[in-house]
């Protein structure tokens, strides 16, 4: 009988200490990554932007310090194409800053699995058990009704979205606040439907008929596109 009040007190203490422990995590998570001068861009590459087929980019396109942009037309860039000029170099520099800021974030969850497929994510900074991460199938990004919610997936090597993968947003999650940050290359498989800013330190290869609402930044490599639909996200609310 006397165990009851003892256990209740212990539980209250546990609840109190876990809420205290949770505070620094929330504080560190609150640094919002901002794409700033790169917001109007759909495609940015450090060396070259190579397109094949009927790619449609709603937004700007650019390279810096490389100056090679090929395959436009048949590709279309609705905004400005900036080959190693001021807007292109501002976009590249902004992508690098966003990449570095993302990598400096304190992770809020260490995932047990390298595959995001089939999982649902609240806002947070996520790491993976190995060097690579992938998306096979659907990942659900849950905004929890907070329009400022931000998701950062920190990948130490490559990120690979398999063919027909999909990022599904619910409860007010905004594509402009989703970041896939790969320290090496990123690959998006055929007909995948992505939502988010894909920042890779090296190359990014996007396969036929894949789409993205968000930017592709291939920071120090080539961005290879093939009949893709890309929509920049300059008007993020909050």
Ligand X SMILES: *[C@@H]1O[C@H](CO)[C@@H](O)[C@H](O)[C@H]1NC(C)=O
Binding site for ligand X (CB under 6 A): 46, 48, 50, 54, 65, 68, 70, 92, 96, 129-131, 137-138, 156, 166, 168, 208-209, 219-220, 222, 224, 227, 229
Helix H, strand E, coil C: the string for the chain is CCHHHHHHHHHHHHHHHHHHHHHHHHHHHCCCCCCHHHCCEEEEECCEEEEECCCEEECEEEECCCCEEECCCCCEECCCEEECCHHHHHHHHHHHHHHHHHHCCCCCEECCCCECCCCEECCEEEECCCCCEEECCEEEEECCCCCCCCEEEEECCCEEECCCCEEEEECCCCHHHEEEEECCCEEECCCCEEECEEEECCCEEECCCCEEECCEEECCCCEEEECCEEECCCCCCC
The smaller minimum CB distance to ligand X, of residues 101 and 229, is found at 229
The smaller minimum CB distance to ligand X, of residues 101 and 208, is found at 208
The smaller minimum CB distance to ligand X, of residues 68 and 238, is found at 68
CB of 225 to ligand X, least distance (A): 11
The smaller minimum CB distance to ligand X, of residues 185 and 232, is found at 185
CB of 5 to ligand X, least distance (A): 43
């Amino acid at each position: 009988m006397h165990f009851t009040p003892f256990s209740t007190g212990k539980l209250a203490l546990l609840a109190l200490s876990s809420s205290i422990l949770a505070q620094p995590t929330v504080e560190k998570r609150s640094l919002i990554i901002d794409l700033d001068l790169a917001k109007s861009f759909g495609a940015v590459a450090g060396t070259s932007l190579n397109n094949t087929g009927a790619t449609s980019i709603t937004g700007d396109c650019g390279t810096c310090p490389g100056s090679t942009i090929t395959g436009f037309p048949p590709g279309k860039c609705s905004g400005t194409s900036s080959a190693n000029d001021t807007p292109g170099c501002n976009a590249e520099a902004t992508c690098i800053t966003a990449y570095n800021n993302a990598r400096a974030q304190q992770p809020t969850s260490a995932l047990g699995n390298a595959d995001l497929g089939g999982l649902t994510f609240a806002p947070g900074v996520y790491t993976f058990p190995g060097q690579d991460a992938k998306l096979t199938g659907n990942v659900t990004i849950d905004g929890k009704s907070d329009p400022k919610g931000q998701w950062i997936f920190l990948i130490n090597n490559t990120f690979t979205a398999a063919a027909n993968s999909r990022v599904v947003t619910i409860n007010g999650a905004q594509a402009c606040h989703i970041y896939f940050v790969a320290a090496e290359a990123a690959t998006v498989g055929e007909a995948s439907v992505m939502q988010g800013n894909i920042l890779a330190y090296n190359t990014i290869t996007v396969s036929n008929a894949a789409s993205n609402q968000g930017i592709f930044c291939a920071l120090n490599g080539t961005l290879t596109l093939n009949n893709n639909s890309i929509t920049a996200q300059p008007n993020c609310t909050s």
